[in-house]
Amino acid sequence: MAEDDRKDATRDAVGREIESAMNGQVSGLPPEQAEALREKIRLRVREEIERDLRARTASDRKDAAHLAKEARKKEKHGEEGETFIRFNRNFRFQHMVMFSSVILLIITGMPLKFPNFILSRFVINFWGGIQYSTIVHRIGAAMLIYFMIHHFLYTILTRDGRRDFWLLLPKLEDAKDIVHNIRHFLGKLPDKPRFGRFSYIEKFDYWAVYWGCIIMIGSGLFLWFETDVLRFLPKYALDVAHEMHSDEAMLATLAIVIWHFYNVHFNPDRFPGTLLWWHGRMSEHEMKEEHPLELEEIVARRAKESAEVSNG
């Protein structure tokens, strides 16, 4: 209300000023000519004011749109507040080795499973023929084996590794979270479940890779060293290994493309993806959204530590 009064007072003052300026211009003219000139000036002034106003609102709107865009960007990338280290350098390195090797293995393995598919010939020719593409498959396999050994040692020998392994074990809470989330998706519960350091989605991802690596490395070694295997085991053992390798490859590829890609790339909250795997950091905003229980634990721990320090 006070804002409207102020605007009216400004408008009156401007009107009075224009009128007195106009009177100065038309003084001495016959009354009809003076009125015609006044009308002309009024029209010109109105046009100018309107143009000015239009320009101002357009730039205000542009500013507002720009600010809103910046705010959305900031919120999305979580530039506000503190950032938290979610994955340490060692873990990020393991993840990079793992996903590079899996991509290489899928690209070089699938053309063997689907040799008649139109892209298979192109991929095999890209590596210089089947004899080279199978060598690249073995290079990918060696990288995956290295990753598995590295991760195993990391889990046993480091504090972060032991903590994460323990937190990644499935618990009763996960089953409750799944039910909660389904009810949330169906619109029966307003809020999504509040996750700790690892949600059931991330646990599924982790154990799918764990299981997948054991099957793929085990069966892959059988195929790699088939003559040695045949010295000790019957032929059907090799056939079983081949079947396992081939089917689990399909399952792993689909799990990655459907489950993992949806959760980390195509989910509207994440699209087109995050660089967490590269820098390992998560913003306070993202922590609140995705791991609120872990954030609460961190805050409580810090409060306790600072209380201990101040108590001497």
Helix (H) / strand (E) element for 58: namely helix 31-77
Site string for ligand HEM, 192-231 (x = CB under 6 A): ------------------------xx--xx-xx-------
For residue 88, which of 21, 27, 39, 159 has the smallest C-alpha distance?
Answer: 159
Residue 310 token pair: 């101040």
Residues 6+ apart with CB under 8 A from 29: 37
Residue type (1 letter), 59: S
Q: Work out whether 148 is an interface residue with ligand HEM (CB under 6 A).
A: no
Exactly one of 141, 201, 241, 287 binds ligand HEM (CB under 6 A); which one? Answer: 141
CB of 164 to ligand HEM, least distance (A): 22
**Nearer of residues 107 and 293 to ligand HEM, judged by Cβ:** 107
Residue type (1 letter), 212: G
CB of 293 to ligand HEM, least distance (A): 32
CA 113 – CA 103 distance, rounded (Å): 16
Residue 275 token pair: 């660089």
**Nearer of residues 85 and 251 to ligand HEM, judged by Cβ:** 251
**26-85 residues near ligand HEM, rule: CB under 6 A:** none
Q: How many CB atoms within 10 Å of residue 199? A: 21
Q: Work out whether 95 is an interface residue with ligand HEM (CB under 6 A).
A: no
**DSSP of 140-182:** HHHHHHHHHHHHHHHHHH-HHHHHHHHHHS--HHHHHHHHHHH
CA 246 – CA 268 distance, rounded (Å): 33
Site string for ligand HEM, 246-265 (x = CB under 6 A): x--x--x-------------
CB of 75 to ligand HEM, least distance (A): 36
Residue 306 token pair: 């600072």
Count, residues near ligand HEM per rule CB under 6 A: 21
**Nearer of residues 226 and 289 to ligand HEM, judged by Cβ:** 226
Torsion of CA 253, 258, 263, 269, to 10 degrees: 140
CB of 162 to ligand HEM, least distance (A): 26
Exactly one of 87, 95, 124, 137 binds ligand HEM (CB under 6 A); which one? Answer: 137
Contact set with ligand HEM (CB under 6 A): 102, 105-106, 109-110, 112-113, 134, 137, 141, 144, 216-217, 220-221, 223-224, 245-246, 249, 252
